[in-house]
Structure 1
Amino acid sequence: MPISRAELPADDAAALIDQLCQRWSGAKELDRAGDPVRVEFDNGTCYLQAKPDKLMVVVEALDDESHDALERDVDHALDALKGVELDIIWEA
């Protein structure tokens, strides 16, 4: 199961998670009750966790093709965040 992580500097990571959850409201499943927040898509799962000075993002999928596609989708969503400029570097 391929997994990748990114740590993104953020002054208000919780607000970024709110924006992402609004964007992904049509996801297969969205669980904001836990920490981290879990967003399940057809091709994998994204976990979001707010830390005092950063947003932690983890992407996992069942196969490499699905993982790459989900990572691109998450990249696109992060790039689209309002008022935020992020340099996203994924680590396996």
Structure 2
Amino acid sequence: FLDIQNQFMVGSCDVKFPIRLAGLVLSHQQVSSYEPELKPGLIYRMIKPRIVPKIFVSGKVVLTGAKVRGEHYEALRIFRPTK
């Protein structure tokens, strides 16, 4: 067990504001899928960083695929509210 390497990290957070999933999937159709009848979360396949967040309307987010912790923060920037 001396040769163990991390392949990817899983992170979770609460962004503390609701996320309009229907609006997000409309504006990011190429990289997201949302079928509320089947699953409550939106799947967003990011290209750079190569992370797959599962996003919930409550503001909770589960991020998979990061190689370093900073990629989680980079991925979350796209979900900030805009004015």
- Relative to the length of structure 2, the TM-score reads 0.61
State which of 24, 31, 56 in structure 2 corresponds to 1:49. 56
Gaps of 5+ in 1: 84-92
User: 1:28-59 deviations in whole A, cap 9, x for unaligned?
Assistant: xx2201222111123120111123xxx10111
Flag as ranges the 4+ runs of structure 1 deviating above 4 A. Answer: none
Distance 1:24 1:32 in 2: 11
> Partner residue of 2:16?
9
- Shift of the 8–2 alpha-carbon distance from structure 1 to 2, 3 Å rule, reads same
Larger Rg: 2
User: 1:7-31 deviations in whole A, cap 9, x for unaligned?
Assistant: 1223xx252x23433443332xx22
Q: In 1, are the aligned partners of 2:66 and 2:72 still within 8 Å (CA)?
A: no
Q: Identify, as 1 or 2, the structure richer in strand.
A: 1
Please tell me the root mean square deviation across aligned C-alpha atoms, in Å: 2.4
Tell me whether 1:37 sits opposite 2:42 in the alignment: yes
The total of aligned residue pairs comes to 71
Gaps of 5+ in 2: 1-7
User: 1:43-77 deviations in whole A, cap 9, x for unaligned?
Assistant: 120111123xxx1011111522xx633531322x1
Identity in percent: 4
